[in-house]
Structure 1
Amino acid sequence: MANTSLQMMGLVLGIAGWGFGILVCAAPWWRVSAFVGDELVVSQVLSEGLWMTCLSERGRLQCKVYDSGLALTASVQMCRGLCVLSLFLCLLAVPLSVTGLKCTRCLGDAHETKARMAQVGAVLFLLAAFFYLVPVAWTVYVVIRDFYDPSVAAPLKRELGSALYLGWAVTALMLVGGAVLYLGSASPGAPAIPVFGRGGKANPPSTAESKPEKVFV
């Protein structure tokens, strides 16, 4: 039978991952400027995200959306697409999971159908976690690779932004939420067990055993 507590816990974790995933996807702090070398300018900090770039100078923050999406690198475009796909899968998973909860009455007494819908929602959360993990991990790899690459000029080097660390947490929330929701919705089939007592009747004894044989003299 489905476990309502596990279902609710998994759904809450999945929704939390979805909400924080939207904020992380829109945040401009995926990559921040790294000042390595002779020139050190502390008053200016450049932050780059998937949708905009921000410049912080003397306490003032100025942000600007990218003028053209096609002018961006293939890496940024790939990260954009995967993040949007992940959030869209979460958007589909939430209504399916809510409908499939054992405590809801959306489908009446169709417990098996509700459990299957909740499991589909859980699988969508798991897929969303995977598609969100790829752009975060890829951005981390690119930032670290360029930072230690001597051929990259110092002004072009970047460091890991706070949004990337939050991206790992978002992935964990979606992954754990989907797994808990799936386990809470699992309903293994019960084996057929003979029932005795008031609800059932035992097999009657055979006639040969119940009645003694008559002996004629």
Structure 2
Amino acid sequence: MSNMVTEIVAFIMSMSGWVLISSTILTEDWRWDGSLDDSILESAFFWSNLWKTCVTDSTGVTNCKEFPSMLALDGYIQACRGLIIAAVCLGFFGAVFALVGMKCTKIGGSDQNKARIACFAGVNFILCGVSSLSACSVYAHRITSEFFDPMFVAQKYELGAALFVGWTGSILCILGGVIFCFSIVDIFTSSSHPGYIYRAHASASHVPSQSRGHRQPLSQRPSQEYSRSSRIQHFDKNAYV
């Protein structure tokens, strides 16, 4: 029962993290410009994500420009795209394997097969969290390195809300995957050390066979006769005493 509750908690954590990671793909502000100066565009709000860069003026009008070519993008944006898409795919397959391998479901076969599937689901969730964590960290490292670089004269950005959402989802996925992997340890431990099975029916079936008058083998008769004669001799010796 405890393993079932543990798996349910791990599944909820992992799925919550996967939903948060998936939401970061379409989230607008991976980075935003929070610096204000005395220029005419001081009331404009610049923000950017993995797919486009936009600006919103004081009237609320937003103009966006999508990245024209994937091959012309910076390397870190391409890496972040690949990592976040891989994280979403790994989380999806992890959710499918988790539904099959959990004890509260009726599919998956025996307990050992379900435990292996649940462990595979946990590994998928861990890889999902690591991929998303890497994508958010690479993107954040580029923002911070440009912001604190005194030689960088172009527009500087700050960390957006999507990065914090991605980090939170990554931690939830990693924790859920680890709990999935540890929830099946006792199953393999109990299967590798089976308990002693007492076969009472074998001894019970042997006793009535002698009471029904079955003749014993000849090899057993001398030992019984010897024991009977030894008891008689011992009785005679004590009788004279």
User: When the two structures are superposed, what TM-score results if normalisation uses the length of structure 2?
Assistant: 0.76
Of the two, which has the highest radius of gyration? 2
Shift of 1:149: 0.7
Three-state SS of the structure 1 residue aligned to 2:132 is helix
The structure-2 alpha-carbon separation of the partners of 1:151 and 1:40, relative to structure 1 and needing over 3 Å to count, comes to farther
Asked whether the 8 Å contact 1:2–1:115 carries over to 2, the reply is no
* Equivalent AA in structure 1 for residue 133 of structure 2: L
Shift of 1:66: 2.1
Shift of 1:28: 2.2
| Bigger RCO of structures 1 and 2 (CA < 8 A, at least 6 apart) | 1
* Equivalent AA in structure 2 for residue 194 of structure 1: Y
Asked whether the 8 Å contact 2:29–2:48 carries over to 1, the reply is yes
Q: Distance in 2 between matches of 1:180 and 1:20?
A: 19
Q: Distance in 1 between matches of 2:138 and 2:130?
A: 12
Shift of 1:38: 6.1
Asked whether the 8 Å contact 1:123–1:178 carries over to 2, the reply is yes
**Paired position in structure 2 for 1:194:** 196
Q: Distance in 2 between matches of 1:183 and 1:3?
A: 10
* Equivalent AA in structure 1 for residue 173 of structure 2: M
Asked whether the 8 Å contact 1:10–1:181 carries over to 2, the reply is yes
Number of residues of Structure 1 aligned to a counterpart in Structure 2: 209
Asked whether the 8 Å contact 2:33–2:45 carries over to 1, the reply is yes
Residue pairs, 1:100-111, within 5 angstroms: 100-108=101-109, 110-111=110-111
Q: Does 1:181 align with 2:180?
A: yes
**Paired position in structure 2 for 1:204:** none
The structure-2 alpha-carbon separation of the partners of 1:192 and 1:150, relative to structure 1 and needing over 3 Å to count, comes to same
Residue pairs, 1:150-161, within 5 angstroms: 150-153=150-153, 155-161=154-160
Asked whether the 8 Å contact 2:36–2:42 carries over to 1, the reply is no
Asked whether the 8 Å contact 1:9–1:181 carries over to 2, the reply is no
More helix by share: 2
Shift of 1:37: 6.3
* Equivalent AA in structure 1 for residue 62 of structure 2: L
Shift of 1:177: 1.3
Three-state SS of the structure 1 residue aligned to 2:64 is strand
* Equivalent AA in structure 1 for residue 195 of structure 2: I
Percent of pairs with identical residues: 25
Q: Distance in 2 between matches of 1:63 and 1:151?
A: 28
**Paired position in structure 1 for 2:12:** 12
* Equivalent AA in structure 2 for residue 20 of structure 1: L
RMSD: 2.8
